[in-house]
Each structure stands twice: as C-alpha cells, then as structure tokens.
C-alpha cells in the first residue's frame, strides 16, 4: 500500500483511537482486494445501523467509546424500528432495546438520522465524479448510475470505517476503466407502451441483474424521459437479482450521453437483446403465490418518493381496503406530506405509512402469514425468506385494485 503522510498519521492514531481502528480496517481490506492506494471520499451512507444481532451493536458502541466521529457527511439507512410509530413493530423488549442502542450509537458517531434506503431522496446527492463510500445495494446503484458518483458496494461496518477514516480502497468502480460498459442491452424489441409504465422497470432490472451479474451494462432503447423513480426501481431490482453496482442508460444517465461514450470507445464484449417472452417469464418469477386471495399489500422498497405518493393519491379508492396496505418511506418524505397537510388523505383511505424501516426487515406484517402483493422487485425477492409470506408482483394500480378486493387483480394486457 502506498499511503500519504496524512493516512500514515491516521494509522498512527493522530486523529484518535476510533479513526486509527477504522483506518487499520480500511487498509487491510484494501490489501485483501488488491488496491495499491486509498481514495479520499466526500460522503458515506451507512447500512450497518440495522440490527441483525448483538455484534453490530457492540461494534458501533465500541467506536463511540473510542471517541469516534465521522470525517465526512454520513446518512443512515433503515433501522429495525419505526421511531415515529413504535407500536407498528412486533418485537420483544430486548430486541427493541438493542435495535435502539445500535441506532443511537450511529447518531453518536455524527451520522445524520435519515433512516432511509433512498438517501438521494433526502438531499444526499453527491455530484458527478465524486468518490463516496455507500452501503445499501439500491443506493449504490443509484449513486453510481443516476448521479454519476463513484462507490463500490460497501458492506456493513466497512461503510462506517470508511466514513471515520474519510478514505476508501481505490479499486473497482472508483476507477475510470471499471466504469465503462462491457455489455450492451438492447430493449428495442419491447413494446413502447410497456416501457411507459412503472411496472416494467423492476422486471427489466431483475432480468438485467440475472443476466449481467456484476458487469457494467449500457441499456439502449429506453425513453429519454425515463424518471428517477423508474431508474431507482430498475437499479434496486438489478442489485438484488445480481450484483449490479453500476448501469448506464444511453441518452439518460450522465456517463452515457451516447453508446460510444458508455463503452469508452471500445467494442462491447457482448450484446444482449431483451425478448418480450423472456420479460414475461421474469415477471412471473417475481411471484411465488398463485393469483387468488392476498393478505396484505406493501410498496416502498426502495422507499416511496413524493412523486410516488402523488401517483398513489390519484389511485386511492372510494371504498376501504380489504387488507392492510403499507407504504414504506423516509422521514423527509413523511415530513413533507405532513407539512403539506396530505397525511390525513392517506390515513383516511386506510394506508399505513411505515417510516425509518420497512416491512421485510422488521416484524410489521400481520403475524399469521399469507400472501403479500407488491410493485417492488426488491420486496418480491426478500419477502418470502424474510417474512414467510408468499408474494405476488404487480403494478401500483394492480396493488390498489387488489387491496380493495382482497384478491389479485392484474392487468395482463400489458404483458401480452
């Protein structure tokens, strides 16, 4: 490792024992990964604040005991509690206590309590080319792809170490050569009407992750007007079904103004054509339960944006929902709704807004199990193993209609 004088001083404890410990871990990880030097970062997003066991609590509290403080701005991913609606979480006293201790420890380290998997919706938006150290797979994909910032997929505890040290290993997606696309994905054969619907993008993302793994792809043939919410949903699904940390969309994302630029002036190693029948098959894999009765609906993975709340508000039915309907979102969106006086509209319709966490990482769904309907590719992937519920995938419109009837009601014409 080639370290600067400042980095050697960090290793020698010049900034305190917590920064020294974090720096030792960052340097050792860089050595394991084959990096020759470190890169200064401008921010971090911390995934390690979610309680999975006592070890995570002890690690964070040890950093606090050592006087740790983040060297760069750092936002916090979801925790294991909805701090604004604590009664929604079904957890024993000890689990609640440990989850709260972990959340408080990260705040004590100087992290901003955003408690969202979509920090880019809460104002944390690094600029094109900025080096950052982000955890949470969808946030990583969004930062790299949509914002053009540079981060690898940093796991729990590595993220906070990078934040304390203000450094990350210079390798992977921090490097110019690793960011060029090697795969072209052609969506020209997909119906334009389907591309104009939100339901298409989690399916495309699921297909993309399964096909490309951790390679960098450039997608061609999508509308230039494709929204951030749709790119968010696509990236989240691709990061879940594969290991996608960066994708480009020709004419849309900042590092792909055209195909040649996305490819770095080189010839693609492979060209993949998206076939409509393959997409339909992928959509079907997102459901583990047959069409029929459902027991709950959940949307908001990644967390619901204000734009998505506007879409939902238009769709709210006159009749009550037959099953619980959950919307997971961040505090920034929740407060915006509250300040605009829009919360009562959703509450009157029977919507349960979950803040600070989501229904697949903490016990919020009814305990008896059953079938969950969602419009999220990420929820579709994690719901069965994390909650024991079966899952059915559909559009937001499908979710609303199905929630009213208590049975799956989907528009199959989109996929014909």
In order along its 416 residues, the chain shows pLDDT tens digits of 999 999 999 999 999 999 999 999 999 999 999 999 999 999 999 999 999 999 999 999 999 999 999 999 999 999 999 999 999 999 999 999 999 999 999 999 999 999 999 999 999 999 999 999 999 999 999 999 999 999 999 999 999 999 999 999 999 999 999 999 999 999 999 999 999 999 999 999 999 999 999 999 999 999 999 999 999 999 999 999 999 999 999 999 999 999 999 999 999 999 999 999 999 999 999 999 999 999 999 999 999 999 999 999 999 999 899 999 999 999 999 999 999 999 999 999 999 999 999 999 999 999 999 999 999 999 999 999 999 999 999 999 999 999 999 999 998 887 87
CATH fold of 5-175 reads: Aconitase; domain 3 (3.30.499)
Strands 38-40, 167-169: parallel, antiparallel or unpaired by DSSP? antiparallel
pLDDT at 319: 87
Does residue 291 contact residue 408 with C-beta atoms inside 8 Å?
yes
List the chain domain ranges: 5-175, 180-284, 288-408
Nearest to 76 by CA among 124, 146, 41, 26: 124
Does residue 234 contact residue 202 with C-beta atoms inside 8 Å?
yes
Does residue 144 contact residue 254 with C-beta atoms inside 8 Å?
no
CATH fold of 288-408 reads: Aconitase; domain 3 (3.30.499)
In CATH terms, are 5-175 and 288-408 the same topology?
yes
Helices 158-165 and 54-65 cross at an angle (nearest 10°) of 10
pLDDT at 413: 84
What is the Cα–Cα distance from 407 to 321, expressed in whole angstroms?
11
Q: What is the pLDDT of residues 55-70, one digit of tens each?
A: 999 999 999 999 999 9
Q: How far is CA 9 from the centre of its chain?
A: 35
Cα first-last separation, the chain? 56
């Amino acid at each position: 490792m080639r370290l600067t004088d400042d980095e050697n001083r960090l290793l020698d404890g010049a900034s305190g024992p917590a920064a020294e410990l974090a720096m030792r871990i960052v340097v050792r990880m860089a050595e394991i990964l084959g990096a020759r030097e470190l890169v200064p970062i401008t921010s971090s997003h911390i995934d390690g604040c979610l309680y999975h066991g006592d070890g995570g609590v002890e690690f964070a509290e040890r950093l606090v005991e050592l006087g740790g403080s983040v060297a760069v701005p750092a936002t916090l991913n979801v925790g294991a509690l909805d701090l604004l609606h604590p009664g929604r979480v079904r957890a024993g006293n000890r689990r609640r206590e440990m989850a709260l201790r972990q959340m408080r420890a990260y705040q004590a380290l100087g992290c901003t309590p955003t408690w969202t998997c979509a920090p880019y919706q809460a104002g944390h938006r690094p600029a094109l080319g900025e080096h950052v150290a982000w955890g949470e797979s969808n946030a990583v994909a969004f930062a790299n792809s949509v914002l053009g910032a540079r981060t690898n997929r940093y796991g729990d505890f590595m993220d906070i170490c990078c934040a304390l040290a203000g450094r990350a290993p210079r390798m992977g997606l921090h490097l110019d050569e690793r960011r060029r696309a090697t795969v072209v994905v052609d969506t020209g054969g997909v119906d334009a009407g389907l591309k104009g619907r939100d339901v298409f993008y989690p399916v495309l993302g699921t297909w993309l992750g399964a096909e490309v793994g951790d390679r960098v792809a450039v997608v061609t043939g999508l509308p230039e007007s494709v929204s951030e919410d749709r790119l968010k949903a696509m990236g989240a699904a691709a990061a879940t079904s594969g290991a996608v940390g960066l994708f480009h969309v020709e004419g849309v994302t900042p590092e792909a103004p055209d195909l040649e630029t996305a490819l770095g002036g080189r010839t693609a190693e492979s060209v993949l054509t998206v076939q409509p029948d393959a997409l339909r098959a992928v959509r079907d894999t997102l459901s583990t339960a047959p069409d029929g009765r459902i027991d709950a609906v959940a949307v908001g993975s990644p967390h619901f944006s204000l734009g998505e709340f506007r879409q939902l508000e238009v769709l709210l039915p006159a009749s009550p929902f037959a099953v619980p309907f959950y919307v997971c979102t961040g505090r920034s969106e929740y407060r915006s709704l509250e300040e605009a006086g829009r919360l009562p509209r959703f509450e009157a319709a029977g919507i349960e807004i979950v803040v600070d966490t989501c229904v697949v990482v903490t016990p919020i769904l009814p305990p008896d199990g059953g079938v969950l309907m969602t419009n999220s590719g990420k929820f579709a992937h994690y719901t069965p193993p994390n909650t024991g519920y079966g899952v059915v995938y559909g559009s937001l419109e499908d979710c609303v209609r199905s929630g009213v009837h208590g049975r799956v009601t989907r528009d199959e014409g989109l996929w014909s």
